[in-house]
Structure 1
Amino acid sequence: MSYQSFDDLIASMDQNICDNMRRAIETGKWADGRVLSREQKELCLQAVIAWETQNLPEEQRSGYMEQACKSGEEKTEDQPVTLRGPDTLQ
């Protein structure tokens, strides 16, 4: 199937197509075992993000992180980080 634009591609997608693209991105292969090219991975990733933005609530989208997406209404506590050198990781 040929699409006139990226928007046409997104409009023709459904949840199943989005899930198949997401799985292909994760595994690096299509369901039939063919390897995705770099260009295919990039296009699939853009399509998944665009489709999810139009069709899913924010908390159901790929990469959603609850803390990072909260508005500034609640005060977040500082979480200290301790850095250790490679010689202390034994």
Structure 2
Amino acid sequence: MTYEELISKMTPQMHASLKQAIELGKWPNGQRLTDEQQAICMRAVIAYDQTNLPKEEHIGFIDRTRQDGKQHGSDPLEPEILKILTH
């Protein structure tokens, strides 16, 4: 089974369990997560978010909209258009 297949078969309950394990730093049985396990769980949660949840529910999402609905600041991940001016 590939990593992508594993993520596609992840259930919302599994996703929530992995998020909780990351937050608490331990598995439901109380055993502490190793650094490697924490990194793998984080990658799985992020991958699940990207494919199954709306952008607003992704881990680390920052809502940049103002109360009037306009964008506050720029999205640092959005590509910028550069204009080259010749004199």
Q: Structures share a fold, TM > 0.5? A: yes
Q: Determine the structure 1 residue equivalent to 2:10.
A: 13
TM-score scaled by length of structure 1: 0.69
Gaps of 5+ in 1: 77-90
Moved over 3 A (4+): 73-76
- How far is 1:74 from its partner? 4.1
Q: Determine the structure 2 residue equivalent to 1:46.
A: 43
Aligned residue runs from structure 1 range 75-90, under 5 A: 76=73
- How far is 1:20 from its partner? 0.4
Distance 1:59 1:38, change over 3 A: same
Deviations 1:38-71 (A, max 9, x none): 1110000000000010000000111111118xxx
Please, which of 51, 54, 57 is the counterpart of residue 54 of structure 2? 57
Distance 1:32 1:75 in 2: 43
Identity of aligned residues (%): 33
Gaps of 5+ in 2: 74-87
Distance 2:38 2:15 in 1: 13
TM-score scaled by length of structure 2: 0.71
Distance 1:75 1:34 in 2: 42
Distance 1:55 1:67 in 2: 22
Structure with the largest fraction of helix: 1
Aligned-pair RMSD on alpha carbons?
1.8
Determine if contact 2:64/2:72 at 8 Å carries over to the other structure.
Answer: no
Deviations 1:14-40 (A, max 9, x none): 111001000101110011101111111
